[in-house]
Amino acid sequence: MKPAVATVCSLNASLDTILTDYAAGHCDAIDLWLGHADAFIAQSGVSALRERLTELAIAPLAASFQGGLLTSQGEARQEHWRHFGERLAFCRELEIPVLVIAGDTFGPLSPQDLGQLSTSLSAAARQAGESGVRLALEFDARASFPNNLQSAVALVEDVGHPGLGVCLDWHHFTVGPSKALDLWLLTPENLAHVQLSDIIDVPREMASDADRILPGEGCSPPQELVTRLAEIGYSGGVSVELMNPALWRVPPRQFGEIAMTALRRVLGQATMDG
Distance CA 27, CA 164 (A): 27
Give residue 201's pLDDT: 87
Give residue 270's pLDDT: 52
Give residue 274's pLDDT: 40
Residues 23 and 258 sit within 8 Å (Cβ to Cβ): no
- Is 47 exposed, middle or buried (CB count within 10 Å of its CB: 0-12, 13-18, 19+)? exposed
Give residue 269's pLDDT: 61
Give residue 273's pLDDT: 43
The tally of domains found in the chain comes to 1
Work out the widest C-alpha separation in the chain, in whole angstroms. Answer: 51
> Which residues fall within 8 angstroms of residue 59, CB to CB, at 6 or more apart?
2, 4, 28, 29, 30, 53
Residue pLDDT tens, the chain, 274 long: 999 999 999 999 999 999 999 999 999 999 999 999 999 999 999 999 999 999 999 999 999 999 999 999 999 999 999 999 999 999 999 999 999 999 999 988 899 989 999 999 999 999 999 999 999 999 999 999 999 999 999 999 999 999 999 999 999 999 999 999 999 999 999 999 999 999 998 888 888 999 999 999 999 999 999 999 999 999 999 999 999 999 999 999 999 999 999 999 999 865 434 4
Give residue 172's pLDDT: 97
Give residue 202's pLDDT: 87
Strand pairing category for 98-102 and 29-33: unpaired
CATH of the domain at 256: 3.20.20.150
Q: Model pTM?
A: 0.95
Range of the domain at 226: 2-273
Give residue 57's pLDDT: 97
Strand pairing category for 59-66 and 2-6: unpaired
CA 195 → CA 75, 122, 202, 239, distances in Å?
Answer: 31, 23, 20, 5
Give residue 204's pLDDT: 81
